[in-house]
Structure 1
Amino acid sequence: MTESIHFNFEYKKLIGQISSTYQQGQLKAIHAVNINLLETYWQIGQYIVEFEQGGAERAKYGKSLINKLADDLFNIHGKGFSRSNLIYMRLLYLGYPISEKPSHLLSWSHYVELLKIDDKLERSFYEQQSIIEKWSIPELRRQKKASLFLRLAIAKDKDAILQLAKQGQAISRPNDIIRDPYILDFLKIPEPHQYTESELERRIIEHLQHFLLELGKGFAFIGRQYRITLGNRHHYVDLVFYHRILKCFVLIDLKKEEAGYEDIGQMNMYLGYFENEENTEGDNPPIGIVLAKQKDDLLIQYAMHNISSQLFVSKYQLYLPDREELRAIIEEQLNSDESLN
């Protein structure tokens, strides 16, 4: 009996070792294939561009070159040489010259999405952020659709915008995780709809994965309607998260209308409670976010006088932002900075 138990234990250990090695091997194989695929497609793009630049005789092919290549290469190699693929191979070489070759940490499918972005600064940001946060293709599409780069860049000066584009969004202090506005279009709440704060909270929980993506890297969900008790009275924080990078609780209170001074006072009370009653050794002071449909910046400024720098008031939108409006503001900021130099 004892030998049988020992055999089963050793056998399960063997299964675990084989499975682990096999999975690691698969990941290495996929990574190796991805590296070779990117390098191959980049080189094909180089051949196409160099052929196009080879003088008037070759230039006469013009737009028909890609169509002719797609037909002939498909007849030789089969799938993989569609017109669309060849266009993106060409763009890969043009967008990432030899001194700026694409990263092996992203897949060909990532670069197809990235190459759809004309602005080089914006594309660079999404490339870096995809690497930092390990975005899947759907996640990358979502962040592009929600204009994450433009929303983060809008409050920055020229140098900060360039750094954001080059390095992505680094997280080292509470301000780095704050967005204003937050885009909650995935909740599918029509604008005229009269919703309650409870419904808003319920829908966020139902779409928690999307909400975590909107919050950004490092958030872990702790709970909803988190109860705290003071003087025999119960209070409830709408949403509580823990941020793994900043090592602190993040409290979110939802408001379906404009944020008021009383909401700031309430959140400040929550922060005090968590810092004194919930924090354990190694935890940093908690961060509080009052997330409201509207906010009066002047009222917020005075209401937060001498209040914790860990407390923020942000707006949310139930619809996607107007990209062109955001882009115009950022271009104006960049041009303004240049005119001052």
Structure 2
Amino acid sequence: MARLPDSQQNFYDKIAQILQSARTRIVQSVNSTMVATYFEIGRLIVEEELQGKQRAEYGKKILKDLSTKLTAEFGRGFPEDNLGNMRKFYTIYQAQISETLSRKSDKTTDVFSLSWSHYLKLMRIGDENERRFYEIESAKNHWSLRELQRQYDTALYTRLRLSRNKSEVLALSKQGLRIEKAQDLIKDPYILEFIGLPESAVYSESDLEQRLIDKLEHFLLELGTGFTFVARQKRITFDEKHFRIDLVFYNRLLKAFVLIDLKNGELKHQDIGQMQMYVNYYDREIRLADENKTIGLILCQDKSEAVVRYTLPENNEQIFASQYQTVLPSKEKLIALLQEKED
């Protein structure tokens, strides 16, 4: 289709944006109405079962009979297992929904911001705090079901817990991830399974960098909220010497540059010193007066916590080192690391 003249194109774009926004609102309204309906059906099933709890055979038959009658009148969508999910949905969320309604609104649809498919996934998460975290983050970041599944598969909640104290972990389940300081951005490890490199593959730092650039959208999602890409192989020069920073990002929430260096093998203290130089340069030469201090992140395959701890000053709030993995982690391994930390 030929592009319209600029004045007409601008006119068309405005109308297209209105229609797209309306379409989005309609989908959201349909989703929330359907989820609220399933919540109410679940409530009625639970109440009916409680009334007939003295008759065990009645409790076993109720879903089967209800499925048959609803399917005959309303068509597909009411098999026994889905009705069982509605019952489970009400059981899991009744306290949370009641509390929310008492604070916000008397309309049940107002409190459901995710699709039924999202809730089906969330209900399979046994830990209440972990489930609540993924629910908040899914709504806040508009995660698709596929993105929610990836964040869960890469154990985002467990990885964030590894770098936080107990009070901060509790906040994750109540407020989701809040970005207020540099430390809030950091994960350890970062999971880069989307680049398609086996764990045992031999590759250079430039190969890794190229893979990340090729999958930049995925990498931005792994980095987290508020990141925008600025540059790769950013050259800085002083005293007639040239240095190149692998990747430069900017975080809109912290109003700070984030410099990333990629390291194969084990992290060395010289790598940390190099990052310190990059951060100092950006702070003194690049950042504006109303921007916060630059953050440096070294992504490495292996690191010694002692090397990091003794190379950086005790009050360090700018430079961080995290490991990266190119395959999905074993959740059991991450939980073991978490237990070691808490012990």
Q: Same fold (TM over 0.5)?
A: yes
Percentage of identical aligned residues: 42
- How many matched pairs? 328
* 2:30 aligned residue: 33
User: C-alpha displacement at 1:131, in angstroms?
Assistant: 2.1
Question: Are residues 208 and 14 of structure 1, via their aligned partners in 2, closer, same or farther at CA, if it must alter by over 3 Å?
Answer: closer
Q: Give 1:47's aligned residue.
A: 44
Residue among 249, 260, 270 paired with 2:257 = 249
**Residue 26 of structure 1: CA displacement?**
2.5
2:83 pairs with 1:90 = no
1:4 corresponds in structure 2 to none
Q: What is the CA–CA distance in structure 2 between the aligned matches of 1:292 and 1:9, rounded to whole Å? A: 48
Displacement after TM superposition at 1:73 (Å) = 1.8
Cα distance in 2, alignment partners of residues 128 and 329 from structure 1: 25
1:171 equivalent to 2:176? Answer no
Deviation readout 1:166-196 (Å, 9 max, x if unpaired): 1111000000000111111222211221111
In 2, the alpha carbon distance for the partners of 1:209 and 1:14 equals 30
Shift of 1:217: 0.4
Q: Is the 8 A contact 1:238 1:254 kept in 2?
A: yes
**Pair 77,332 (structure 1): closer, same or farther in 2 beyond 3 Å:** farther
The 1-side partners of 2:223 and 2:153 are apart by: 15
How many Å separate the matches in 1 of 2:341 and 2:310? 27
Change (3 A) 1:331 1:123: farther
2:105 aligned partner: none
Q: CA deviation at 1:331?
A: 6.5
Deviates more, 1:179-188 or 1:93-102: 93-102
- For normalisation by structure 2, the TM-score amounts to 0.86
For 2:311 and 2:61, the matched residues in 1 are separated by 64
Q: Distance in 2 between matches of 1:142 and 1:222?
A: 25
Separation in 2, partners of 1:333, 1:238: 31
Equivalent residue number for residue 209 of structure 1? 217
Q: 1:17 to 1:212 in 2, by over 3 A?
A: closer
Question: How many angstroms does 1:307 deviate by?
Answer: 8.2
Q: Partner of 2:51: helix, strand, or coil? A: coil
**CA 1:78–1:194: 2 relative to 1, 3 Å:** same
User: Offset at 1:61?
Assistant: 4.6
Secondary structure in structure 2 of the residue aligned to 1:290: strand
Alpha-carbon distance in structure 2 between the residues aligned to 1:315 and 1:10: 51
> Residue 112 of structure 2 corresponds to which residue in structure 1?
104
Partner of 2:104: none
- Preserved CA contact (<8 Å) 1:52 1:58: no
Residue 305 in structure 1 maps to residue 304 in structure 2 = no
Between 94-103 and 36-45, report the one with greater CA deviation: 94-103
Contact 2:38–2:86 (CA under 8 A) maintained in structure 1: yes
Kept in 1: contact 2:232–2:247 (CA 8 A): yes
Cα displacement (A) at 1:322 = 2.2
Aligned to 1:296: 304
Alpha-carbon separation, structure 2, partners of 1:14 and 1:228: 43
**Secondary structure of the residue that 1:143 maps to in structure 2?**
helix
TM-score by length of 1: 0.87
Higher mean Cα deviation, 157-166 or 302-311? 302-311
- In the superposition, relative to structure 1, how do residues 11 and 214 fare at CA in structure 2: closer, same or farther (>3 Å)? closer
Structure-to-structure mapping, 1:63-212, within 5 angstroms: 65-97=62-94, 98-100=97-99, 103-212=111-220
Following the alignment from structure 1 to structure 2, what is the Cα–Cα distance between the partners of residues 190 and 47?
Answer: 50
Identify unmatched segments of 5+ residues in structure 2. 101-107
